[in-house]
Amino acid sequence: MSAASTPAPRVQRPSAETRWADELDRLADRDRRTGARVPDGWRLSPRSVVDFVLGDAGQRDGLGLETKFVGDRALVERCVVALATDRGLMLVGEPGTAKSFLSELLAAAVSGDSTLTVQGTASTTEDAITYSWNYALLLARGPSLDALVPAPVHRGMSTGAVVRFEEITRCPIETQDSLLSVLSDRVLVVPELEDEHRVLHARRGFSVIATANVRDRGVNDMSAALKRRFSFETIHPIADLRREAELVQRQSDAILADAGITAALPGDLTEVLVTMFAELRRGRTADGRPVEQLSTAMSTAEAVSVAVATGLSSAWFTGTPPRGEDVVGALLGTALKDSDEDRSRLRGYLTRVAKERGGRWQELHAARGLLDG
Protein backbone atom coordinates (compact mmCIF):
# COMPACT_ATOMS: atom_id res chain seq x y z
CA MET A 1 0.00 0.00 0.00
CA SER A 2 1.47 3.38 -0.92
CA ALA A 3 1.89 6.06 1.71
CA ALA A 4 -0.68 8.20 -0.08
CA SER A 5 -3.43 5.62 0.39
CA THR A 6 -2.72 4.94 4.08
CA PRO A 7 -5.72 6.22 6.01
CA ALA A 8 -4.92 8.96 8.52
CA PRO A 9 -4.86 7.65 12.09
CA ARG A 10 -8.01 8.41 14.03
CA VAL A 11 -8.08 10.99 16.77
CA GLN A 12 -7.05 9.45 20.10
CA ARG A 13 -9.69 11.07 22.20
CA PRO A 14 -12.38 13.20 20.54
CA SER A 15 -13.75 15.97 22.74
CA ALA A 16 -17.12 15.44 24.41
CA GLU A 17 -19.07 17.62 21.96
CA THR A 18 -17.77 15.52 19.07
CA ARG A 19 -18.10 12.15 20.73
CA TRP A 20 -21.66 12.77 21.85
CA ALA A 21 -22.73 15.23 19.11
CA ASP A 22 -25.77 13.11 18.47
CA GLU A 23 -26.97 13.26 22.05
CA LEU A 24 -26.48 17.03 22.16
CA ASP A 25 -28.63 17.37 19.01
CA ARG A 26 -31.37 15.20 20.47
CA LEU A 27 -31.40 17.21 23.68
CA ALA A 28 -31.55 20.53 21.80
CA ASP A 29 -34.41 19.11 19.79
CA ARG A 30 -36.27 18.04 22.94
CA ASP A 31 -35.80 21.53 24.41
CA ARG A 32 -37.35 23.04 21.26
CA ARG A 33 -40.26 20.60 21.21
CA THR A 34 -41.10 21.05 24.87
CA GLY A 35 -40.47 24.79 24.91
CA ALA A 36 -37.93 24.39 27.74
CA ARG A 37 -36.30 27.66 28.70
CA VAL A 38 -32.69 27.86 27.57
CA PRO A 39 -30.65 30.51 29.40
CA ASP A 40 -29.19 33.28 27.24
CA GLY A 41 -25.99 32.15 25.59
CA TRP A 42 -26.54 28.46 26.41
CA ARG A 43 -27.11 25.65 23.93
CA LEU A 44 -29.37 23.59 26.19
CA SER A 45 -31.82 23.98 29.04
CA PRO A 46 -30.42 23.37 32.53
CA ARG A 47 -32.28 20.07 32.80
CA SER A 48 -30.88 18.88 29.50
CA VAL A 49 -27.36 19.76 30.63
CA VAL A 50 -27.82 17.59 33.74
CA ASP A 51 -29.31 14.74 31.69
CA PHE A 52 -26.38 14.91 29.28
CA VAL A 53 -23.82 14.72 32.10
CA LEU A 54 -25.48 11.86 33.98
CA GLY A 55 -27.20 10.03 31.12
CA ASP A 56 -30.81 8.96 31.34
CA ALA A 57 -30.58 5.18 31.70
CA GLY A 58 -33.61 3.88 33.52
CA GLN A 59 -35.69 7.03 32.91
CA ARG A 60 -39.08 6.65 31.33
CA ASP A 61 -39.27 8.38 27.92
CA GLY A 62 -35.48 8.72 27.98
CA LEU A 63 -33.46 9.71 24.93
CA GLY A 64 -31.01 6.85 25.33
CA LEU A 65 -28.28 9.08 26.75
CA GLU A 66 -25.13 7.27 27.79
CA THR A 67 -24.07 7.34 31.44
CA LYS A 68 -20.98 9.54 31.60
CA PHE A 69 -20.22 11.13 34.96
CA VAL A 70 -21.22 8.85 37.83
CA GLY A 71 -22.29 11.02 40.74
CA ASP A 72 -25.00 12.70 42.66
CA ARG A 73 -27.73 14.43 40.68
CA ALA A 74 -27.91 17.19 43.29
CA LEU A 75 -24.20 17.90 42.88
CA VAL A 76 -24.49 18.21 39.10
CA GLU A 77 -27.55 20.45 39.49
CA ARG A 78 -25.60 22.73 41.82
CA CYS A 79 -22.79 22.91 39.24
CA VAL A 80 -25.25 23.88 36.53
CA VAL A 81 -26.78 26.55 38.75
CA ALA A 82 -23.32 27.92 39.54
CA LEU A 83 -22.64 28.40 35.83
CA ALA A 84 -25.67 30.65 35.54
CA THR A 85 -24.63 32.87 38.45
CA ASP A 86 -22.04 35.62 38.54
CA ARG A 87 -19.45 33.30 40.07
CA GLY A 88 -17.16 30.74 38.55
CA LEU A 89 -17.41 27.05 39.41
CA MET A 90 -14.49 25.40 41.22
CA LEU A 91 -14.30 21.60 41.29
CA VAL A 92 -11.91 20.31 43.93
CA GLY A 93 -11.06 16.78 45.00
CA GLU A 94 -8.66 13.88 45.06
CA PRO A 95 -6.86 13.01 41.81
CA GLY A 96 -8.76 10.89 39.31
CA THR A 97 -12.27 11.67 40.54
CA ALA A 98 -13.37 13.03 37.14
CA LYS A 99 -13.15 16.75 37.91
CA SER A 100 -11.73 17.42 34.44
CA PHE A 101 -14.21 15.06 32.81
CA LEU A 102 -17.14 16.75 34.56
CA SER A 103 -15.92 20.19 33.52
CA GLU A 104 -15.54 18.97 29.93
CA LEU A 105 -19.08 17.56 29.91
CA LEU A 106 -20.55 20.75 31.36
CA ALA A 107 -18.72 22.96 28.86
CA ALA A 108 -19.79 20.72 25.96
CA ALA A 109 -23.43 20.80 27.03
CA VAL A 110 -23.65 24.49 27.92
CA SER A 111 -21.54 25.95 25.09
CA GLY A 112 -21.11 23.13 22.59
CA ASP A 113 -17.35 23.56 22.98
CA SER A 114 -15.12 22.15 25.70
CA THR A 115 -11.85 23.18 24.12
CA LEU A 116 -11.45 26.69 25.50
CA THR A 117 -9.08 25.37 28.12
CA VAL A 118 -6.19 26.81 30.07
CA GLN A 119 -3.83 24.23 31.55
CA GLY A 120 -2.47 25.59 34.81
CA THR A 121 1.22 24.99 35.53
CA ALA A 122 3.86 26.78 37.56
CA SER A 123 4.92 28.58 34.37
CA THR A 124 1.46 29.59 33.10
CA THR A 125 1.46 33.31 32.36
CA GLU A 126 -1.36 35.80 31.98
CA ASP A 127 -0.83 35.66 28.19
CA ALA A 128 -2.00 32.07 28.12
CA ILE A 129 -5.16 33.01 30.03
CA THR A 130 -6.29 36.29 28.53
CA TYR A 131 -4.50 37.37 25.35
CA SER A 132 -1.11 37.88 23.77
CA TRP A 133 0.21 39.55 20.61
CA ASN A 134 1.39 38.51 17.21
CA TYR A 135 4.62 40.48 17.45
CA ALA A 136 5.25 40.67 13.70
CA LEU A 137 1.86 42.37 13.21
CA LEU A 138 2.27 44.43 16.35
CA LEU A 139 5.57 45.87 15.10
CA ALA A 140 4.28 46.39 11.57
CA ARG A 141 0.93 48.00 12.42
CA GLY A 142 0.95 48.83 16.11
CA PRO A 143 -1.60 47.50 18.56
CA SER A 144 -4.78 46.55 16.76
CA LEU A 145 -7.38 43.84 17.00
CA ASP A 146 -5.65 42.04 14.12
CA ALA A 147 -2.44 41.75 16.12
CA LEU A 148 -4.20 40.48 19.24
CA VAL A 149 -4.03 36.73 19.81
CA PRO A 150 -6.96 35.81 22.01
CA ALA A 151 -6.39 33.16 24.69
CA PRO A 152 -9.30 31.11 26.09
CA VAL A 153 -10.67 33.75 28.46
CA HIS A 154 -10.76 36.43 25.75
CA ARG A 155 -12.41 34.02 23.36
CA GLY A 156 -14.93 32.78 25.91
CA MET A 157 -15.87 36.34 26.85
CA SER A 158 -16.29 37.51 23.27
CA THR A 159 -18.32 34.51 22.14
CA GLY A 160 -20.20 33.82 25.40
CA ALA A 161 -18.78 30.38 26.13
CA VAL A 162 -17.59 28.40 29.13
CA VAL A 163 -13.84 28.49 29.72
CA ARG A 164 -12.11 25.65 31.56
CA PHE A 165 -9.15 26.34 33.81
CA GLU A 166 -7.45 23.06 34.68
CA GLU A 167 -5.36 22.73 37.84
CA ILE A 168 -5.67 26.41 38.65
CA THR A 169 -3.84 26.13 41.98
CA ARG A 170 -0.66 25.06 40.23
CA CYS A 171 -0.35 28.59 38.81
CA PRO A 172 1.34 31.36 40.74
CA ILE A 173 -1.24 33.32 42.73
CA GLU A 174 -0.60 36.55 40.79
CA THR A 175 -1.38 34.73 37.55
CA GLN A 176 -4.57 33.22 38.96
CA ASP A 177 -5.60 36.71 40.01
CA SER A 178 -5.84 37.83 36.39
CA LEU A 179 -9.32 36.31 36.69
CA LEU A 180 -10.46 38.72 39.41
CA SER A 181 -11.96 41.49 37.29
CA VAL A 182 -13.04 38.97 34.67
CA LEU A 183 -15.17 37.16 37.25
CA SER A 184 -16.43 40.10 39.25
CA ASP A 185 -16.99 42.79 36.61
CA ARG A 186 -17.15 40.44 33.62
CA VAL A 187 -14.77 42.81 31.89
CA LEU A 188 -11.34 42.42 30.35
CA VAL A 189 -9.36 45.57 29.65
CA VAL A 190 -6.80 45.56 26.86
CA PRO A 191 -5.00 48.82 27.66
CA GLU A 192 -3.01 48.81 24.40
CA LEU A 193 -6.12 49.02 22.23
CA GLU A 194 -8.20 52.09 21.59
CA ASP A 195 -11.86 52.96 21.67
CA GLU A 196 -14.43 50.24 21.49
CA HIS A 197 -11.87 47.40 21.59
CA ARG A 198 -10.20 48.50 24.82
CA VAL A 199 -12.84 47.07 27.10
CA LEU A 200 -14.25 43.64 26.37
CA HIS A 201 -17.59 42.96 28.04
CA ALA A 202 -18.33 39.29 28.45
CA ARG A 203 -21.27 38.01 26.45
CA ARG A 204 -23.92 35.97 28.15
CA GLY A 205 -23.02 32.34 28.41
CA PHE A 206 -19.47 33.10 29.50
CA SER A 207 -18.35 31.44 32.72
CA VAL A 208 -15.28 29.73 34.15
CA ILE A 209 -14.99 26.17 35.45
CA ALA A 210 -11.75 25.64 37.33
CA THR A 211 -10.42 22.38 38.73
CA ALA A 212 -7.96 21.84 41.55
CA ASN A 213 -6.44 18.74 42.95
CA VAL A 214 -6.40 18.60 46.76
CA ARG A 215 -3.05 16.83 46.72
CA ASP A 216 -1.41 19.72 44.85
CA ARG A 217 -3.12 22.39 46.85
CA GLY A 218 -0.93 24.40 49.14
CA VAL A 219 1.86 24.36 46.56
CA ASN A 220 0.28 27.51 45.30
CA ASP A 221 -2.87 28.39 47.12
CA MET A 222 -5.56 30.79 45.96
CA SER A 223 -6.05 34.34 47.11
CA ALA A 224 -9.06 34.94 49.34
CA ALA A 225 -10.29 37.48 46.80
CA LEU A 226 -10.36 34.89 44.02
CA LYS A 227 -11.91 32.21 46.24
CA ARG A 228 -14.85 34.53 46.90
CA ARG A 229 -15.53 34.63 43.18
CA PHE A 230 -16.02 30.88 42.88
CA SER A 231 -18.65 28.42 44.06
CA PHE A 232 -16.79 25.38 45.36
CA GLU A 233 -17.90 21.80 44.84
CA THR A 234 -15.95 18.83 46.17
CA ILE A 235 -15.92 15.75 43.97
CA HIS A 236 -15.53 12.55 45.99
CA PRO A 237 -14.51 9.12 44.75
CA ILE A 238 -17.51 6.96 43.87
CA ALA A 239 -18.76 5.57 47.17
CA ASP A 240 -20.80 2.67 45.81
CA LEU A 241 -18.67 -0.31 44.84
CA ARG A 242 -21.22 -1.68 42.38
CA ARG A 243 -21.51 1.61 40.50
CA GLU A 244 -17.74 1.97 40.41
CA ALA A 245 -17.32 -1.58 39.09
CA GLU A 246 -19.97 -0.92 36.41
CA LEU A 247 -18.16 2.23 35.34
CA VAL A 248 -14.74 0.57 35.19
CA GLN A 249 -16.23 -2.32 33.21
CA ARG A 250 -18.09 -0.03 30.82
CA GLN A 251 -15.18 2.30 30.17
CA SER A 252 -12.52 -0.40 29.85
CA ASP A 253 -14.76 -2.49 27.57
CA ALA A 254 -15.27 0.53 25.34
CA ILE A 255 -11.56 1.37 25.19
CA LEU A 256 -10.62 -2.25 24.50
CA ALA A 257 -13.32 -2.63 21.86
CA ASP A 258 -11.98 0.51 20.22
CA ALA A 259 -8.58 -1.19 20.06
CA GLY A 260 -10.24 -4.17 18.38
CA ILE A 261 -10.09 -6.40 21.45
CA THR A 262 -13.25 -8.31 22.17
CA ALA A 263 -12.11 -10.31 25.22
CA ALA A 264 -13.05 -7.81 27.92
CA LEU A 265 -12.18 -8.20 31.57
CA PRO A 266 -14.43 -10.84 33.17
CA GLY A 267 -16.94 -9.25 35.56
CA ASP A 268 -15.62 -11.04 38.65
CA LEU A 269 -12.10 -9.81 37.93
CA THR A 270 -13.30 -6.23 37.55
CA GLU A 271 -15.09 -6.54 40.87
CA VAL A 272 -11.91 -7.76 42.58
CA LEU A 273 -9.90 -4.94 41.01
CA VAL A 274 -12.36 -2.26 42.11
CA THR A 275 -12.69 -3.72 45.63
CA MET A 276 -8.92 -3.77 46.00
CA PHE A 277 -8.65 -0.14 44.87
CA ALA A 278 -11.42 1.00 47.20
CA GLU A 279 -9.92 -0.82 50.20
CA LEU A 280 -6.43 0.55 49.56
CA ARG A 281 -7.88 4.03 49.07
CA ARG A 282 -9.83 3.95 52.32
CA GLY A 283 -7.15 2.16 54.32
CA ARG A 284 -9.52 -0.55 55.53
CA THR A 285 -11.22 -3.62 54.20
CA ALA A 286 -14.95 -3.94 53.66
CA ASP A 287 -15.21 -5.73 57.02
CA GLY A 288 -13.35 -2.94 58.79
CA ARG A 289 -9.81 -4.26 59.14
CA PRO A 290 -7.01 -1.74 58.64
CA VAL A 291 -4.79 -1.98 55.56
CA GLU A 292 -1.85 0.24 54.72
CA GLN A 293 -2.81 3.03 52.32
CA LEU A 294 -0.63 3.60 49.27
CA SER A 295 0.93 6.95 48.43
CA THR A 296 -0.44 6.57 44.88
CA ALA A 297 -4.04 7.76 44.54
CA MET A 298 -5.93 4.53 43.87
CA SER A 299 -8.55 6.41 41.89
CA THR A 300 -11.27 5.20 39.57
CA ALA A 301 -9.28 6.66 36.67
CA GLU A 302 -6.31 4.48 37.68
CA ALA A 303 -8.59 1.45 37.97
CA VAL A 304 -9.77 2.00 34.38
CA SER A 305 -6.16 2.24 33.21
CA VAL A 306 -5.24 -0.98 35.01
CA ALA A 307 -8.27 -2.77 33.53
CA VAL A 308 -7.32 -1.63 30.02
CA ALA A 309 -3.65 -2.56 30.45
CA THR A 310 -4.73 -5.97 31.76
CA GLY A 311 -6.96 -6.56 28.73
CA LEU A 312 -4.27 -5.42 26.28
CA SER A 313 -1.49 -7.53 27.71
CA SER A 314 -3.58 -10.67 27.88
CA ALA A 315 -4.89 -10.19 24.32
CA TRP A 316 -1.53 -9.31 22.83
CA PHE A 317 0.88 -11.48 24.78
CA THR A 318 -0.73 -14.13 26.96
CA GLY A 319 -3.37 -15.19 24.49
CA THR A 320 -5.72 -16.31 27.27
CA PRO A 321 -8.62 -14.42 28.84
CA PRO A 322 -7.45 -11.88 31.45
CA ARG A 323 -6.53 -13.38 34.82
CA GLY A 324 -5.43 -12.19 38.24
CA GLU A 325 -1.73 -12.23 37.39
CA ASP A 326 -2.34 -9.94 34.41
CA VAL A 327 -3.93 -7.48 36.85
CA VAL A 328 -0.91 -7.61 39.17
CA GLY A 329 1.40 -7.10 36.18
CA ALA A 330 -0.63 -4.12 34.99
CA LEU A 331 -0.66 -2.62 38.48
CA LEU A 332 3.11 -2.45 38.48
CA GLY A 333 3.45 0.13 35.75
CA THR A 334 0.04 1.75 35.72
CA ALA A 335 -0.73 2.38 39.35
CA LEU A 336 2.36 1.87 41.46
CA LYS A 337 4.66 4.15 39.44
CA ASP A 338 8.13 4.05 40.98
CA SER A 339 7.40 3.70 44.68
CA ASP A 340 9.10 0.77 46.41
CA GLU A 341 7.07 1.35 49.58
CA ASP A 342 3.82 1.07 47.62
CA ARG A 343 5.03 -2.18 46.12
CA SER A 344 5.65 -3.70 49.51
CA ARG A 345 2.37 -2.36 50.92
CA LEU A 346 0.49 -3.91 48.02
CA ARG A 347 2.38 -7.13 48.48
CA GLY A 348 1.32 -7.12 52.13
CA TYR A 349 -2.30 -6.64 51.08
CA LEU A 350 -2.15 -9.54 48.59
CA THR A 351 -0.39 -11.72 51.15
CA ARG A 352 -2.83 -11.12 54.00
CA VAL A 353 -6.16 -9.97 52.61
CA ALA A 354 -6.37 -11.72 49.23
CA LYS A 355 -5.25 -14.99 50.79
CA GLU A 356 -8.39 -15.29 52.89
CA ARG A 357 -10.77 -14.78 50.01
CA GLY A 358 -11.93 -17.20 47.35
CA GLY A 359 -12.32 -17.09 43.58
CA ARG A 360 -10.23 -14.56 41.66
CA TRP A 361 -8.56 -13.35 44.84
CA GLN A 362 -6.51 -16.52 44.89
CA GLU A 363 -5.09 -15.69 41.44
CA LEU A 364 -3.94 -12.32 42.76
CA HIS A 365 -2.53 -13.87 45.90
CA ALA A 366 -0.60 -16.41 43.83
CA ALA A 367 0.84 -13.63 41.63
CA ARG A 368 2.10 -11.49 44.53
CA GLY A 369 5.70 -12.53 43.76
CA LEU A 370 5.55 -10.29 40.64
CA LEU A 371 5.80 -7.36 43.03
CA ASP A 372 9.21 -8.45 44.30
CA GLY A 373 11.13 -7.62 41.11
Ligand X SMILES: Nc1ncnc2c1ncn2[C@@H]1O[C@H](COP(=O)(O)OP(=O)(O)OP(=O)(O)O)[C@@H](O)[C@H]1O
Number of Cβ within 10 Å of residue 266's Cβ equals: 14
Q: Which is nearer to ligand X, 77 or 192 (CB)?
A: 77
**213 interacts with ligand X by CB under 6 A:** yes
**314 interacts with Mg ion by CB under 5 A:** no
Q: State the minimum distance, in angstroms, from the CB of residue 99 to ligand X.
A: 4
Q: Which is nearer to Mg ion, 51 or 94 (CB)?
A: 94
Q: Which is nearer to ligand X, 90 or 367 (CB)?
A: 90
> Which listed residue (45, 48, 97, 100) binds Mg ion by CB under 5 A?
100
Nearest partner of 19 among 89, 93, 96, 108, judged by Cα: 108
Q: How many residues bind ligand X (CB under 6 A)?
A: 19
CA distance 328 to 307: 10
Number of Cβ within 10 Å of residue 132's Cβ equals: 17
Q: Which does 98 bind (CB under 5 to 8 A by kind): Mg ion, ligand X, none?
A: ligand X
Q: Is 135 exposed, middle or buried (0-12, 13-18, 19+ CB in 10 A)?
A: exposed
Positions 251 through 270 that interact with ligand X (CB under 6 A): 251
Q: 359: phi > 0 → left, psi -120 to 50 → alpha, else beta; which?
A: left
Q: Which is nearer to ligand X, 119 or 231 (CB)?
A: 119
Q: State the minimum distance, in angstroms, from the CB of residue 371 to ligand X.
A: 24
Contact 200, 214 (CB under 8 A): no
- For the chain, the residue count is 373
Q: State the minimum distance, in angstroms, from the CB of residue 200 to ligand X.
A: 29
Q: 277: phi > 0 → left, psi -120 to 50 → alpha, else beta; which?
A: alpha
Amino acid letter at 102? L
163 pairs with which residues across the strands?
Answer: 208
Positions 61 through 120 that interact with ligand X (CB under 6 A): 69-71, 93, 95-101
Stretch that binds Mg ion, among 92-100, 183-191, 334-342, 343-351 (CB under 5 A): 92-100
Measured in whole angstroms, the distance separating CA 43 from the mean position of its chain's CA atoms is 21
Q: State the minimum distance, in angstroms, from the CB of residue 237 to Mg ion.
A: 14
Nearest partner of 274 among 238, 312, 244, judged by Cα: 244
Q: Which is nearer to ligand X, 117 or 213 (CB)?
A: 213
3-class secondary structure, 273: helix
CA distance 107 to 193: 30
Q: Which is nearer to ligand X, 251 or 270 (CB)?
A: 251
Q: State the minimum distance, in angstroms, from the CB of residue 95 to Mg ion.
A: 7
Query: Residues 301-320: x/- map of binding to ligand X (CB under 6 A)?
Result: x--x----------------
Q: State the minimum distance, in angstroms, from the CB of residue 184 to Mg ion.
A: 26
Contact 186, 202 (CB under 8 A): yes
**211 interacts with ligand X by CB under 6 A:** yes
**273 interacts with ligand X by CB under 6 A:** no
Catalog residues that contact ligand X under the rule CB under 6 A: 69-71, 93, 95-101, 211, 213, 238, 247, 251, 300-301, 304
Catalog residues that contact Mg ion under the rule CB under 5 A: 100
